[in-house]
């Protein structure tokens, strides 16, 4: 798709097993087309996706991430999406390098949970309680979760950014999945939002692997 003369790929990241759902992501492959931070922020707000990523160097994997209201040093779903779209093995952030790999239908990244922005992780007694939640008032960034099958590591989750920027509920949130994995210290299979799927696995060196399926919704034209 094209917005204000800028070519944008629109992806869905962390799709469910049937290829549906997933969190929308805008990718500007030619970051030089939107060179300054103010213009990038304005475009991210105009697009209205939970995140938009600008690729500043496709060979090095240098990327820049924005929500509709702020710039982020790290976010999971933009990095999984960018790794899939660019088909590269390393993404470069100011915080450090994020390694990527492709395994069948899943794209994996390896990152440090401490890079994720703060989120409130709130456990509920059942998946039904999580599904019944109303969108809370803006304030804290809430990740609501419950065990669906604790022995199998299966979790039901919903995410409420609470920023008041038009994203009342985040369909799939990689950074929160990293934080929850670090908190629980085990691999997880998370169903979030309406039916998105996120896989995680902690590593001995303190990093965590995060994976999801990616689908292209609107290619550049």
pLDDT at residue 220, as a whole number: 60
pLDDT of residue 64 exceeding 80: yes
Residue 219 pLDDT more than 90? Answer: no
Q: Is the pLDDT of residue 208 over 60?
A: yes
Pairwise CA distance, residues 94 & 90, whole Å = 13
Rounded to whole angstroms, the Cα distance separating 80 from 34 reads 22
* pLDDT mean over 73-99: 96
Q: Is the pLDDT of residue 18 over 90?
A: yes
- pTM beyond cutoff 0.85: yes
User: How high is the pLDDT of residue 33?
Assistant: 95
Please check the confidence at residue 166 and state whether its pLDDT lies above 70.
yes
Q: What's the CA gap between 11 and 42, in Å, rounded?
A: 20
Residue 218 confidence (pLDDT) above 60 = yes
Distance between CA atoms of 171 and 191, rounded to whole angstroms?
10
Domains within the chain, CATH numbers bracketed: 2-90 (3.10.310.10), 115-210 (3.10.310.10)
| 221 pLDDT above the threshold of 60 | no
Q: What average pLDDT does range 5-11 have in this prediction?
A: 95
If you average pLDDT over residues 97-116, what whole number do you get?
A: 97
pLDDT more than 70, % of the chain: 99
Taking the C-alpha atoms of residue 35 and residue 56, their distance in angstroms, rounded to an integer, is 9
Which bin fits 19, alpha (ψ -120 to 50), beta or left (φ > 0)?
A: left
């Amino acid at each position: 798709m094209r917005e204000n003369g800028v070519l944008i790929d629109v992806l869905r990241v962390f799709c469910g097993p049937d290829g549906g759902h997933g969190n929308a992501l805008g990718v500007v492959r030619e970051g030089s087309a939107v060179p300054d931070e103010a213009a990038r922020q304005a475009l991210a707000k105009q697009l209205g996706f939970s995140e938009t990523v600008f690729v500043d160097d496709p060979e090095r994997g240098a990327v820049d991430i924005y929500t509709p209201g702020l710039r982020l040093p790290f976010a999971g779903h933009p990095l999984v999406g960018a790794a899939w779209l660019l088909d590269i093995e390393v993404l470069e952030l100011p915080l450090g390098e994020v390694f990527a790999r492709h395994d069948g239908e899943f794209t994996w990244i390896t990152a440090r949970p401490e890079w994720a922005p703060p989120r409130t992780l709130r456990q509920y007694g059942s998946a039904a309680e999580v599904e019944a939640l109303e969108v809370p008032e803006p304030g804290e960034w809430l990740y609501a979760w419950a065990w669906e099958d604790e022995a199998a590591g299966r979790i039901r989750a919903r995410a409420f950014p609470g920023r008041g920027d038009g994203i009342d509920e985040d369909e799939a949130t990689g950074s929160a999945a990293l934080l929850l994995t670090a908190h629980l210290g085990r691999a997880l299979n998370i169903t979030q939002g309406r039916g998105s799927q996120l896989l995680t696995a902690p590593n001995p060196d303190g990093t965590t692997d995060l994976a999801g399926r990616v689908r292209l919704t609107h290619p550049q034209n």
